[in-house]
Amino acid sequence: MQKLWGGRFAEKTACLLEYFNSSLSFDKELYQEDIQGSMIHAEMLAKQGIITQKEYEDIIKGLAQIKQEIEDGAFSFDISLEDIHMAIETRLIALIGDSGKKLHTARSRNDQVALDFRIYVLKNNILIKKLLLDVAKTMLDIAQEHTETLMPGMTHLQHAQPINLAYHLVAYICMFKRDIQRLNDDYKRNNYCPLGSAALAGSPHNIDRHFVAEKLGFIAPSINAMDSVSDRDFVLDFHYSLSMIALHISRLAEELILWNSSEFSFITINDSHATGSSIMPQKKNPDIAELLRGKSGRVFGNLVALLVVMKGLPLAYNKDTQEDKEGLIDSIAHINMALKILKSLLLNITFNKDNMLQMCKKGHLSATDLADFFVSALQIPFREAHHITGTIVAYAEKNHRDITELNLEDLCKICPQIPQQFLQKALKVLDLKHSMNSRQSFGGTSTKTTQEQINILKQWLKEEESCHL
């Protein structure tokens, strides 16, 4: 088949090159965006008198038929046509003749692919955001039920201070909130139309780029044609946002894996969301969470791959940028599935409250509360209070007890220099629930402040969801 650009070539393209050069196997994913952009481009050409009304109508009719053929599975994707743009244009010419040959007036495949992929990225930005909002809402609903469920808060993966489960979940919702805000920023920053930039220097035809941008839903046309055809920042921005989502999913998945272990037993995963072992009949593995954790490496790799491709490219368009699509399409597919699976997994988890409470009685979680009490009650420096509390912890350790299990007699024995009435009050401070609820500073873990955080996030969620109605 004669290539649309083949006028100056005397020989056919080598067979091996056909396969190496073609992007049709993956950029056919962009057929809707390509047809959408072509229809608006044709409308603009007709408005500007560059093509006739009859030619415009023929083009629209032909493109609509091609779209239907693709969706019906009747369209022939010939790799010799290189990409989705040439495949559609070739079929259009076959359907409507010379009118089809006029569609490419005042545009290049350089700005055409920049437009198609930008529309694709922006569309998937919205889809991923909706899935993230759904996960955040699911976690908020779960958190609402656990504002008084005690569990050990950890640093260095060691018991640190008592918190409530809702507070822990809210921390992840805050991560997802930032992911959504990042997607919002990406969308606004990249919502500019490159069509009309042509190959790199604009067009001599009397085109109306503002009309095209408005009709396609962009804020405005992009400013510089050379930048427009070579820019892939919009792809990298989305790659990075997807990588951050993958990172946050991975961190949550790791906690679920730990909590599911016999050593923690904080959660029980429903049988429908766990797997077994081919050799050990007793095993029930958190494979779903492990896969969620593992997907992050794949998504990070796709980001780095495109960064490396782009780092040495001179202006303007280079064929290297054909490498921008496969990795992103892959990352979108996996993050899309990961968010759906994560929501389903969260809905199929039972939190073992009693085990969480028992684990709070290990590691002397209320020791900091005792030190803070001594500072206030005895009017002593924190470092001195820290030392006194350390001796009490050492005593508890030596006697194989948690600090919360000590009584007044124990405290009097350890700290004879402290008046008994203060030690009596100190026992109340050691209570785990008291410790958790004492942290009422904004952003703290008390039931009251956790509920405030949930309310703030519910309001934010409501506002975000209203944007999609």
Which residues are designated catalytic?
Answer: 156, 277
Interaxial angle between packed helices 324-346 and 287-310, expressed in degrees from 0 to 180 and rounded to the nearest 10: 160
Instruction: With CA atoms as reference, report the closest residue to 191 among 222, 235, 215.
Output: 222
Interaxial angle between packed helices 165-190 and 109-144, expressed in degrees from 0 to 180 and rounded to the nearest 10: 160
- Distance separating alpha carbons of residues 7 and 163, to the nearest angstrom: 73
Task: Report which DSSP code applies to 28.
Answer: G
Pair of tokens at residue 196: 């009309």
- Distance separating alpha carbons of residues 172 and 136, to the nearest angstrom: 9
Task: Report which DSSP code applies to 48.
Answer: T
φ, ψ of residue 264 in degrees (nearest 5): -100, -55
Beta bridge partners of 267: 351
Residue 24 in contact with residue 84, Cβ under 8 Å? yes
Residue 160 in contact with residue 201, Cβ under 8 Å? no
Residue 421 in contact with residue 378, Cβ under 8 Å? no
Residue 124 in contact with residue 331, Cβ under 8 Å? no
